[in-house]
Amino acid sequence: MSRPSVAELRPVVHPAGVKDRRSGEHWAGRLYMREVSLRVDRYLVTTRVTPNQLTYLMTLCGVLAAPALLVPGIWGAVLGVVMVQLYLLLDCVDGEVARWKKQFSLGGVYLDRVGAYLTDAAVLVGLGLRAADLWGSGRIDWLWAFLGTLAALGAILIKAETDLVGVARHQGGLPPVKEAASEPRSSGMALARRAASALKFHRLILGIEASLLILVLAIADQARGDLFFTRLGTAVLAGIAMVQTLLHLVSILASSRLK
């Protein structure tokens, strides 16, 4: 079987609306990764590789960001970014291969969500362990590992709060939530949500953004000669995660998603 061209792949694997999904498409996918993934798809759609196998590999890459971040200095942060970018690439590729081969499954959707949970958590746990200075000559400060784990817990809880809306509606015999139902019924809550959306500080606890932030912090640490900025970033992300977990829960309860 000959390899399809990018032009042949595009209308099939990138149907209308894929890049415009409000919550289903990451900005990095729209900006560059969907174009990269198309080039990778050409070599995979003619093989026996299945979408679920790619999803397993995607999850492995995301989880490996944690040990990558334990490498001291800038190189550990670079490796972390590389692993997360590979995760993002495979996150695009698995769905695109599924569309081309028409191999769709609920198991694939489930595995994709598990991979997203684990990757976000792995990056933040890796950050905490990095801030604890495991390989340093001094005493390991486990406070930073705790804060990184706290940030990871918040990132997971936020995703769970969103996913559990669908579970609650299904168990209540209601159809999937519509986009308009996400808007809070209170004008004050709606204003707070728009402000948070404009600032986008909540995105810093997502694996892709967090890995890029960790690289910036590592460069700053290199210039300073210690882990001050990595530790500051760990504390800030833990705070954001806890606040966002509470605000997201309140936002869901104040909207019509559970009505």
Residue 243 lies in a domain: yes
CA dist 41 and 13 (Å) reads 9
The whole-angstrom separation of Cα 100 and Cα 123 is 31
Rounded distance, CA 143 to CA 183, Å? 37
> What's the pLDDT band for 162 if we cut at 50, 70, 90?
very high
pLDDT tens-digit readout, 115-125: 999 999 999 99
Instruction: Specify if 1 maps to a domain.
Output: no
Q: Kindly report the average pLDDT of the chain as a whole number.
A: 89
What pLDDT, on a 0 to 100 scale, did the predictor assign at position 123? Answer: 98
Per-residue pLDDT tens for 18-66?
766 655 678 888 889 999 999 999 999 999 999 999 999 999 999 999 9
- For the chain, the farthest-separated pair of C-alpha atoms sits apart, in whole angstroms, at 59
pLDDT value for 177 = 80
- What's the CA gap between 105 and 22, in Å, rounded? 22
Please state the pTM of the whole predicted model. 0.89
Task: List phi, psi (to 5°) of 148.
Answer: -65, -40
DSSP state of 182: G
Residue that wins the pLDDT comparison between 194 and 112 = 112
Q: Is position 259 within any domain?
A: no
Say if 94 falls within a structural domain: yes
CATH code, domain with 12: 1.20.120.1760
What's the confidence (pLDDT) of residue 259? 82
User: Using CA atoms, how far apart are residues 233 and 9, in angstroms rounded to an integer?
Assistant: 41
Residue 233 lies in a domain: yes
The pLDDT confidence band at residue 139, using thresholds 50, 70 and 90, is confident
Range of the domain at 23: 6-254
Question: Do you know the residue count of the chain?
Answer: 259
Q: Which pLDDT does position 160 carry in this prediction?
A: 95
Domain count, the chain: 1
Q: What is the pLDDT confidence band of residue 157, given thresholds at 50, 70 and 90?
A: very high
pLDDT tens digit string along 64-78? 999 999 999 999 999
Q: What pLDDT is recorded for position 187? A: 56
In a domain, 137, yes or no: yes
C-beta of residue 205 within 8 angstroms of C-beta of residue 155 = yes
Most confidently predicted of 54-63, 177-186, 249-258: 54-63
User: Which whole number is the average pLDDT over 94-114?
Assistant: 94
Structural domain includes residue 214: yes
Alpha-carbon gap, residue 151 to 237, rounded angstroms: 6
**To the nearest 10°, the Cα dihedral for 30, 35, 36, 38?**
120
d(C-alpha 34, C-alpha 40), whole Å: 10
Find the mean pLDDT for residues 3-30.
Answer: 82
Q: Give CA separation, 164 vs 32, 91, 125, 170, 258, in Å.
A: 31, 22, 24, 10, 10
For residue range 187-231, list pLDDT tens digits in order.
Answer: 555 555 555 555 577 789 999 999 999 999 999 999 999 999 999
- The more confident residue out of 1 and 110 is 110
Pure H helices in the chain: 6-13, 27-28, 34-44, 51-63, 65-69, 73-101, 106-131, 142-171, 187-199, 207-224, 228-254
